[in-house]
Structure 1
């Protein structure tokens, strides 16, 4: 029970990788707080996870995240583990990128995540652990992925800087970067039809050395490792969970 009586906040915990991680934290003894924008899915997730509380919140709204942190503080006094998983996709070629789409993706994937870490630090102390979801999209060029890749690349470097800043406070910060994972996010890419998504999946599977998509549970295992004392001498790391896609190119 690596997280017995630990207080864990999962931002973006009502579906996909966040939900899998929230369940895994709870299974190892944690008191879990999870967020999402959809009230129905939050309630469903909280009902399925012992000792959990759901909070409706949009990570793009910094004030909303700050309110969640205050609610966690009122309930449990602290955050031991923060997992920042909220994110959105968005495919468009250079000529098709709109300012609105760019701002939407960056407000969630970059700005929202950065300020979520900042706000949570107020009630984190020595021994605390932060894990942030990155993406292999920050490290490879895929046509049409410029908006998303730019946001995740910025997040990657911001988190490395913050990890270095937090060493003196005894707080570890690491990133997990999934490759092609079968999650609901894959089917919520603006500008992509279901047929486009299936073609993208086929292309990805063909190029993955393991020749399959990953699962949310496989990402969750990496998250819990980085968040736990098993990784006590690891900070500033970026762990690829991608079936060998990047490292075996």
Structure 2
């Protein structure tokens, strides 16, 4: 992908760690002129921006806070930029047990994973360039029924649906919208969100090694590579799809 995004302006929400950070670094390596990254914690954002390099601009914004998303749009406008690529990546993953799930649990997951994605795209429409590429981060769990993950799975199914609808909504502006659906990926969210201990992750990794034809969990850079493909001219006739990047776990 070297040079594929030369001179382009990119937005990556949730860009301070995991898949978002890997994607932002990959866009930088591919020549992006400016990369806006968002996240909730300023210190983590600043550290990520340093990793990404001179093209990075950190904007503190919680994906579940519509007002904060408005600040992102204002920052982009203030620089006179138009967005060529939007990777709506920010999301949370938390377990919930049916019968013990509170309304607050429900609202927290859907506020970030669904409302956040919807209003990220909507709030940035005025600064999205015609012909831009939008990639939404879904998950293979959108099509699987897994124990203690009903909220997360349903929220990601909604993200998959949004990709289809947005692709139709934005056809007049030639803006492509696709979803990437990662499988099990080694990111901080496994520990901070799903609260997996090192031993639990090791056991889960062994399960994935046996269940997925690829025989292992993914590295964030492998998901980032798929994001860059969907955002690139190589995918110019790809629109409204879900690209599963899961080593075959949910595919075979």
**Normalised-by-shorter TM-score class:** over 0.9
For residue 36 of structure 2, what is the aligned residue in structure 1?
Answer: 33
Deviates more, 1:74-83 or 1:147-156: 74-83
Q: Report the RMSD for the aligned CA atoms in angstroms.
A: 1.4
SS at match of 2:148: coil
Shift of residue 196 of structure 1?
4.1
Residue 181 of structure 2 is matched in structure 1 by 177
| Superposed counterparts of 1:94-173, under 5 Å | 94-173=98-177
TM-score, normalized by length of structure 2? 0.94
1:66 aligns with 2:48: no
Please tell me whether residue 92 in structure 1 is matched to residue 81 in structure 2.
Answer: no
Q: Are 1:21 and 1:224, in contact at CA under 8 Å, matched by a contact in 2?
A: yes
Q: How many residues align?
A: 248
Aligned equivalents of 2:203 and 2:220: distance in 1?
21
Could you list the structure 1 runs, at least 4 aligned residues long, displaced by more than 3 angstroms after superposition. 190-202
Q: Does structure 1 residue 3 correspond to structure 2 residue 28?
A: no
> Residues of 2 paired with 1:53 and 1:64: CA distance?
16
> What corresponds to 1:48 in structure 2?
51
1:26-51 per-position Cα deviation (integer Å, ceiling 9, x unaligned): 11111111011111110011112221
Q: 1:77 to 1:189 in 2, by over 3 A?
A: closer
Residue number among 199, 208, 215 corresponding to 1:211 in the alignment = 215
Please report how far the alpha carbon of residue 19 of structure 1 lies from its aligned counterpart in structure 2 after TM superposition: 0.3
Instruction: Structure 1 unaligned segments of length 5 or more: list them.
Output: none
TM-score by structure 1 length? 0.95
Secondary structure of 2:135 counterpart: strand
